Amino acid sequence: MAAPTRDPFDKQIQNRNYLSNVGFNFTLARFPKVDFFSNTANLPGLTLGTVNAPNYLKELPLAGDRLVFEDFTLQFIVDEKLENYLAVHNWMRGLGFANSIADFVNLIADPNDDSIQMDQQYSDGTLVVLNNQFNSIARVKFNGLFPYALSGLQFDATNQDYQTLTATVTFKYTIYNIETVSTTS
């Protein structure tokens, strides 16, 4: 019996459209009412460590066992009431005990029942990737996000043109997973 012949194009990419860099949005589970008016976001890269195995001619690189995830950075337009900026600002103050231990207690307290929720230090977040028709094609789900850097806001009364203020927040996280979304109707 002869082996079945395979079409060499079976493993080729079927959709030849390019991914646009303008199609995305980001939400945080911790702040569902605060929409981050995102300007830029990155899908963090990752690096796999390597191990050098000794050999009599030269050391041979082998795949290691640890992944290092890059930080997740988000630039967003600050809303007029500073809600999105203050959400991150107060979160960081709570993590860092900026004034007192009360900042941390306010961070982890559940306002609905006055209980303490230690998992309130972290949040899950989702970066939704959109195609060129602004339909979801993938969700990048971050687990255990927390902000560790927030840019300042630069006010400038000498500007002749109206400009919106933007801020940049950088997050650490436990892991992210990419889930593709079916686009078939």
The Cβ of residue 87 has, within 10 Å, a number of other Cβ atoms equal to 18
Long-range CB pairs of 178-183 (<8 Å, 24+ gap) are: 178/43, 178/138, 178/139, 178/140, 178/141, 179/138, 179/139, 179/140, 179/141, 180/137, 180/138, 181/136, 181/137, 181/138, 181/139, 183/131, 183/135, 183/137
In this prediction, residues 161-173 reach a mean pLDDT of 92
Can you read off the two tokens belonging to residue 46?
Answer: 């990752």
Residue 177 has pLDDT above 50, yes or no: yes
- Span 91-144, pLDDT tens digits: 898 888 767 777 666 666 655 555 455 567 889 999 999 988 888 999 999 999
Condensed to tens digits (0 to 9), the pLDDT of residues 80-101 reads: 999 999 999 988 988 887 677 7
Instruction: Please give the pLDDT value at position 35.
Output: 73
**Residue 185's pLDDT is what?**
46
The residue assigned the tokens 């290092």 is 68
Lookup result for tokens 């395979």 = 6
Pick the CATH number of 24-43+71-180 from 1.10.4160, 2.30.110, 3.30.70, 3.90.930: 2.30.110
Question: What residue ranges do the domains of the chain occupy?
Answer: 24-43+71-180
Give the pLDDT score at 99: 73
Tell me which residue of 150, 137, 120, 130 sits closest to 29, measured CA to CA: 120
pLDDT by residue (tens digit) across 31-76? 877 777 888 999 999 999 999 999 888 999 999 889 999 999 999 9
What residues does 63 pair with on adjacent strands? 50
